[in-house]
Chain A
Amino acid sequence: MSRHRAPGTFRVWLPAAFLAAFAVLVCVQLVKVQVLDHDRYAAEARAVRRGNDTFYARRGSILDRNGNVLATSVDTWDIYVSPRAWKDAERAANASAVLAPLLKADPAKLRVTVQQSEGGDVLLKRDVDYETGRLILKAAIPGVIALANTARMTPEGDTGASVLGFIGQDNVGLAGIEAQYNDILQGKPGRAVYERDTTGEPIPFGQYIAIKPEAGKDLVLTIDRHLQALAEERLAQAMKDHRAQGGALIMMDPATGEILAMATSPGLRYSTLDLSDNKQIELLRNRAVTDLYEPGSVMKVITAAAAIDAGVVSPNTEYVDNGVTYIYDVPIRNWDNNVYGPQTMTGVLQNSINTGAVFMAQALGADLFHKYMDAFGFGRPTGIDLSGEASGIIRRPADRDWSPVDLATQSFGQSISVTPVQMLTAIAAAINGGNLVRPHLVKAYVGADGKREEVAPEIVSRAVSAQTSAAIRDMLFQVVNPGHAHPAQPKNYTAGGKSGTANVPIPNGYDDRQVASFVGFAPADDPKVLIMVKLDQNQDLMTGTQAAAPIFASLADEVLAYLNVRPDAPKYVVKP
């Protein structure tokens, strides 16, 4: 029996042609996917399969000089959802219904947020507190991922905010100590790369590579939280009493340069911080180191120290004040237009006589005067450990616009701009034995292993001799103790100091606005604290002696008693 092959018909060839074409298309697509686009698809597959998390190290705490916490990090959770796990509507509804109450959110809004995302895991809430995060983890909600993070907490509220600064959402310091010491505080973040399943969970025993985070070090500041709070309270009260636009109140250990308290206003406040408000951006700078002012008569202390150290005058050198002195026909008058007659250099400081300061500067000469200005650190940053420090402005004989009148005016604190910290550091050098010390805010570092590294005080240079410094201490004691009551006299301690009242410079002159300040120290023989009180644009137009000196006097009593310094006012001196 013979077989007959069916002749090819349209019904056979047409499907065969379709099938062949389909097979060719499949082959082409396979070549495209597996050969031509291999790298791209392999990378996409790896990206889908591989999870990648960053674990921030625990940021170091910031402590005050006595170990009290000023800023610390608490463990929190960042809550993410894998959109793939919430593709199914019913599953998403169930999951969101469990998650929403824990996050105090609306379930529908959570679902919309997740469904509208086009990228990978969706961040639903940052810095969820630790206990809530644990509840979320225990609930094992499909697709929900909780990543450990930390948030900054300041137990003392707004106290010291301008010094401490703050950190951003990425745990990087943006202002103050947090920014200056970010590398030390932050430690090193850890990272984990792992294989994950379709819900985004790590596959047990899948590939897992982890680098552990290294915790940051704690910083022990020179700041004392009690003194800081006291300084902020007194500054706020003084600004209110004298209707001042701003101010600064700084306490320093003059021997070491340790800043015990630094209050500035306006300044950063955590409770009202709103970075979306452009006006608040200005509050991020610490005005004690960034803003310049003309110090006025406080500068006479430096002029006197320079003149005595150079040997051109002594505290008892006499001169006759006529109420006015002329520099190239430009009259320089006393602040009160008074005529004081014969005066010693101590009397010049006691009565704050401008012509006396000019007398000392002229005795020095411009070159020597500016050599001492350099020695006291004017015209350059002090090197304090806060960012944005200004250098100050001082016109010098080599400058194009220099005038001999500048030497005269600089001797009593005009034609020279300084920062409050710069002025305080210069006065510290004048009274601490003659050493220009570097002001600083960090006393020690403490590692995660408890190892403590001390930050040694730094002497930058010698400004004047110890003998000159002792003479200046005595002259400033005479200023506060002129033989009658003085607003700067503490009740329980001896003290010295100098006031300054300067008008605010404007182009081609000065206007009626003023800066009233007082810089004082106590006890007079062995200063333990140096305090600057500065009020900007006080509307009542009281002088530094009237407005700032009483604040110094009351603070000196409180601060020294707090520091366990024995009272040395005459009434406490026991005669043998």
Chain B
Amino acid sequence: MMATLPRPLGAHGRTLPLPPGVARANWWVIAAIMLAGMSALLPVLQNSSATSRGFRVQSLQARQAELNGQIGELESEVARLTSQDRIERRARAIGLEPSSNPIFITVDVPGPAPAKIPAELLPSPQPRAAGAEPWWRSLFRWLPLPD
């Protein structure tokens, strides 16, 4: 039995001529495949991004909760430190004693009245009453007119 070659001898390395337009068609296929591949990857990238952002959000929420908790701890610590009992102990420790017989002095100038209530608990300042400016006048502010 005799072996046969699928191509003629001496034609090794030589490409067969392609019909015109075939090479261009291949690039389109490659581009389409790449586009399809990218489209397939996009949801993966989106998911990955969403996941990492989600964990970041969770981490920030946890941090926020932690800071809120610390604020609460500090507020309660302030309340403990400003309690009458603690202030009295501290005052006695530095040698102060309760006043038993106060002396009243009459002066001509009234002293400043200290605001005992912390600022955040004071009534909020009244908002200024809105002027009687008609609504259309505000449109002039958008124009480059001299003041």
Contacts and interface: CB of A to CB of B under 8 A. Distances in A.
Interface string A145-185: 00010000101110100000000000000000000000000
A226 B69 contact: no
A450 B79 contact: no
A72 interface: yes
Contact of B106 (A226, A229, A444, A574): A574
Interface stretch (B5-13, B30-38, B80-88, B128-136): B80-88
Interface in A220-239: 220, 225-226, 229
B65 to A, nearest CB: 7
Nearest to B102: A561
B82 A155 contact: yes
Chain B interface size range:
20 to 34
Contacts, number: 75
Contacts of B120: 446, 450
Given A66-B116, A72-B75, A561-B102, A229 B121 contact: no
Q: From DSSP, what is the main secondary structure of chain A's interface residues?
A: mixed
Interface string B79-104: 11011110000000000000000101
A66 B121 CA distance: 9
B54 A204 contact: yes
Given A157-B85, A561-B102, A452 B69 contact: no
Contact of A205 (B51, B75, B122): B51
Nearest to A226: B84
B20 to A, nearest CB: 53
A451 B75 CA distance: 19
Contacts of A134: 66, 69
Nearest to B71: A75
Nearest to B68: A75
B84 A67 contact: no
Contacts of A72: 75-76, 79
Given A155-B82, A156-B84, A567 B121 contact: no
Contacts of B58: 204
A75 B124 CA distance: 28
B65 A68 contact: no
Contact of A156 (B55, B85, B106, B118): B85
Contacts of A66: 116-117
B123 interface: yes
B42 to A, nearest CB: 18
A127 to B, nearest CB: 13
B82 A130 contact: no
A130 B84 contact: no
Nearest to B106: A574
Contact of A130 (B55, B72, B102): B72
Rank and list the top 4 A-B pairs by shortest CB-CB distance, nearest first: A69-B79, A155-B79, A66-B116, A155-B83
12 contacts: A63-B121, A67-B118, A67-B121, A69-B82, A72-B76, A134-B66, A156-B83, A156-B84, A204-B54, A225-B84, A444-B121, A567-B104
Interface of A: 58, 63, 66-69, 72-75, 130-131, 134, 148, 153, 155-157, 159, 204-205, 218, 220, 225-226, 229, 444, 446, 450-452, 454, 492, 561, 566-567, 572, 574
